[in-house]
């Protein structure tokens, strides 16, 4: 189901171990370098170095209103916001043109932090409602792009969610590039049914209504609206309860093919998953095994059973 070419991801370069931080150090992240790195072509970006600052350098901070902060040199108060944004405009355009599939940002940075970055105002305590200047611009210019911070990727559910969104975003980008018609959109929506149901069943139905009117709308607008709703739905956490519903739905297709003992085993495994005793990979592996022996055309079109390379082992957590 997934394209096996390596993902191309932008990344704050200090996370790869590059010594570009203000103090001359790095923030190498073992999961990103060693595990995700096997499937990824990294596009490292250090905004502060790329705008011409040295290593080491005086530290920067955000000041002003959290919604529209300025990036300043802490010691001198020199304002670098305009410089960063002018550079960011061209850099983000180049990243978009190179078809990146996602971005991993360094948390807490006044340039790269995605959220909860300290913004210093007139009061004594900083607010934690800011985003780094480059990060904010990236998310505004490329609103569908999957973006995460390295800290949040330590959470196995957020990690799986991010990886799934990377592959879904790439599939969506390639789909749009092929000049799809209404029937193609209907097919794509159908193939993501179970994935979307595991994240947000209501959003799945809303997208379904959009697709139902596909023939009556101009495709570019429809695709823009669908793409936004599709990626937004996948940002919701897929819960154990919703996954279990999807698994039971899949098991329904095997009702006639399996004998009583196999059916009981499958239901017991889905229940064990639902109650937190085994990881998702256990019932999914059994389902895959049964569908290999008893192929079902609709199921084989679903992204759900094969959303990304299994080597990533992201469904192994309990």
Answer yes or no whether residue 20 interacts with ligand SF4 by CB under 6 A: yes
Answer yes or no whether residue 102 interacts with ligand SF4 by CB under 6 A: no
Answer yes or no whether residue 51 interacts with ligand SF4 by CB under 6 A: no
Q: Which of 39, 62, 111, 131 binds ligand SF4 (CB under 6 A)?
A: 111
Distance in angstroms (rounded) separating the CA atoms of residues 131 and 73: 17
Residue 23 vs 174, nearer CB to ligand SF4: 23
Residue 21 vs 165, nearer CB to ligand SF4: 21
DSSP three-state, residue 14: helix
DSSP letter at 126?
Answer: P
User: Which residues sit opposite 147 in a β-bridge?
Assistant: 103
Stretch that binds ligand SF4, among 45-53, 172-180, 198-206, 295-303 (CB under 6 A): 45-53
Q: Is the dihedral of CA 60, 106, 230, 182 positive or negative?
A: positive
Q: Which of 7, 9, 10, 14 binds ligand SF4 (CB under 6 A)?
A: 14
Answer yes or no whether residue 290 interacts with ligand SF4 by CB under 6 A: no
CA-only gyration radius of the chain, Å: 22
Q: Which of 70, 109, 131, 137 binds ligand SF4 (CB under 6 A)?
A: 109
Q: Which of 10, 21, 40, 62 binds ligand SF4 (CB under 6 A)?
A: 21
Question: Considering the complex, what minimum distance in angstroms separates the CB of residue 79 from ligand SF4?
Answer: 17
Residue 106 vs 189, nearer CB to ligand SF4: 106
Residue 46 vs 251, nearer CB to ligand SF4: 46
DSSP 270-297: HHHHHTTSS-THHHHHHHHHHHHHS--H
Q: Is 144 exposed, middle or buried (0-12, 13-18, 19+ CB in 10 A)?
A: middle
Answer yes or no whether residue 131 interacts with ligand SF4 by CB under 6 A: no
- State the residue for tokens 């064990």: 272
Residue 151: other Cβ atoms inside 10 A = 16
Q: Is 28 exposed, middle or buried (0-12, 13-18, 19+ CB in 10 A)?
A: middle
Answer yes or no whether residue 88 interacts with ligand SF4 by CB under 6 A: no
Residue 266: other Cβ atoms inside 10 A = 21
Question: Considering the complex, what minimum distance in angstroms separates the CB of residue 5 from ligand SF4?
Answer: 25
Please, are residues 279 and 310 in contact by the beta-carbon 8 Å criterion? no
Question: Considering the complex, what minimum distance in angstroms separates the CB of residue 13 from ligand SF4?
Answer: 5
Answer yes or no whether residue 47 interacts with ligand SF4 by CB under 6 A: yes
Report how far apart the first and last C-alpha atoms of the chain are (Å, whole number): 25
Residue 109 vs 303, nearer CB to ligand SF4: 109
Question: Considering the complex, what minimum distance in angstroms separates the CB of residue 60 from ligand SF4?
Answer: 8
Q: Per DSSP, which regions of 56-197 are E strands?
A: 60-65, 68-73, 102-105, 117-120, 127-130, 147-149
DSSP three-state, residue 135: helix
Answer yes or no whether residue 106 interacts with ligand SF4 by CB under 6 A: yes
Answer yes or no whether residue 13 interacts with ligand SF4 by CB under 6 A: yes
Answer yes or no whether residue 48 interacts with ligand SF4 by CB under 6 A: yes
Task: Give the count of residues interacting with ligand SF4 (CB under 6 A).
Answer: 12
Please, are residues 230 and 241 in contact by the beta-carbon 8 Å criterion? no
Residue 58 vs 295, nearer CB to ligand SF4: 58
Residue 13 vs 303, nearer CB to ligand SF4: 13
- Residues in the site for ligand SF4, rule: CB under 6 A? 12-14, 20-21, 46-48, 106, 109, 111-112
């Amino acid at each position: 189901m997934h394209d096996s070419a390596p993902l191309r991801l932008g990344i704050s370069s200090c996370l790869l171990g590059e010594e570009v931080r203000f103090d001359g150090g790095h923030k190498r992240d073992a999961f990103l370098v060693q595990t995700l790195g096997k499937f990824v072509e990294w596009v490292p970006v250090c905004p502060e170095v790329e705008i011409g600052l040295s290593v080491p350098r005086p530290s920067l901070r955000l000041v002003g209103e959290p919604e529209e902060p300025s990036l300043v040199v802490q010691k001198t108060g020199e304002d670098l916001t305009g410089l960063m944004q002018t550079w960011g405009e061209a850099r983000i355009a180049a990243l978009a043109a190179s078809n990146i599939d996602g971005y991993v940002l360094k948390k807490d940075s006044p340039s790269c932090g995605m959220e909860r970055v300290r913004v210093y105002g007139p009061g004594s305590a900083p607010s934690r409602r800011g985003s780094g200047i480059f990060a904010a611009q990236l998310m505004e210019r490329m609103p569908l792009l999957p973006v995460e911070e390295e800290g949040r990727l330590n959470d196995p559910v957020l990690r799986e969610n991010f990886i799934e969104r990377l592959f879904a975003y790439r599939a969506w980008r390639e789909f749009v590039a092929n000049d799809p018609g209404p029937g193609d959109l209907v097919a794509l929506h159908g193939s993501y049914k179970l994935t979307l149901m595991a994240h947000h069943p209501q959003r799945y139905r809303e997208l379904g209504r959009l697709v139902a009117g596909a023939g009556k709308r101009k495709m570019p607008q429809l695709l823009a609206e669908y793409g936004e709703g599709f990626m937004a739905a996948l940002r919701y956490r897929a819960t154990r309860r919703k996954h279990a519903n999807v698994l039971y739905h899949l098991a329904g297709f095997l009702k006639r093919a399996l004998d009583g003992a196999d059916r009981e085993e499958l239901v017991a495994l889905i229940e064990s998953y639902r109650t937190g005793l085994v990881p998702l990979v256990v019932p999914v592996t059994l389902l895959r095994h049964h569908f290999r022996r008893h192929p079902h055309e609709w199921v084989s079109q679903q992204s759900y059973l094969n959303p990304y390379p299994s080597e990533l082992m992201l469904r192994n957590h309990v």
